[in-house]
Amino acid sequence: MYADIQPEAVVHLAGRVGGIKDNSSNQVEFFEQNVVMNLNVVAGAHQAGVPRLLGALSTCAFPDVVSKYPFTEDEIFDGPCATTNFAYGYSKRLLHALILAYRSQHKVDYSTFSPSNVYGPGDHFDTDTSHFVPALISKAAKLKDGDTLELWGTGAPLRQQLYVEDLCQIIPLLLTHHHSDDPIIVAPNENLSIDEMAKILISHLNIDVKIVYNNQLDGQHRKDGANALLLQTIGDYNFTSFDSGIKQTYNWYRPF
């Protein structure tokens, strides 16, 4: 593929990804498949002489617990990844280590970035394997007035939800301006609880729904990352609010 296309740059977004249930149940597959993808894409790019590569990590690559929040890029190796996505988190952390090694040994312009939870039109909406937002939308689309919506965990964990169109606009800016060792965090300032996000979506459906939690697999309580280095690198950016993004995503999945 590299020989045929001869790209000037590669943005490596491929990955085995999924929600908390899928992650915790398939740790081997998440680790093996992501490590193989990372090795093949990066090594292949270097062998083909591709001068520029930008690799997507995840805020899951950062430690389960840090001394302060939001965490910053220099803390990526400061502790173990969360147990609920341990293998996936380490596969992404290894991608950063691999790219650092290529930068050091071969002096190539390869770098990484770490998006928070990404959602939006075109997402994967299977309720057993998807991330929280698409699973929420899939469940909410089946609700009628007076129904009960059951969700995983307690509703307390906090998450930064990154609208996919924002990421699509930011990636070319990173490709142009990000040339450092830093695993730049791409995340909005907004850091909402699972319960807050569920209530925001339900508020747009104009039906009376009771939300209950099964108290299983809560995951990390918080994993919010700072975006100061991102904005320093690409300039000011107006992130899509979750209220607006969830409306657009739901309307794409099932028009109001």
Spatial contact of 101 and 110, defined as CB atoms under 8 Å apart: no
CA distance 161 to 237: 15
CA distance 241 to 38: 32
DSSP single-letter state for residue 12: E
Q: CA 23, 42, 180, 234 torsion: positive or negative?
A: negative
52-56 and 109-115: which strand pairing?
parallel
For 2, the token pair is 């590299």
CA distance 233 to 223: 22
For 145, the token pair is 């007035």
Residue recorded with tokens 């520029």 = 52
Helix (H) or strand (E) holding 17: none
Alpha-carbon distance values, 56 to 10, 12, 143, 213, 246 (Å) = 11, 6, 35, 32, 23
Which position among 2, 88, 90, 119 bears the catalytic label?
88
Q: How far apart are the first and last CA of the chain?
A: 42
Is 237 in the active site?
no
CA distance 13 to 98: 15
Which residues have a catalytic role annotated? Answer: 88
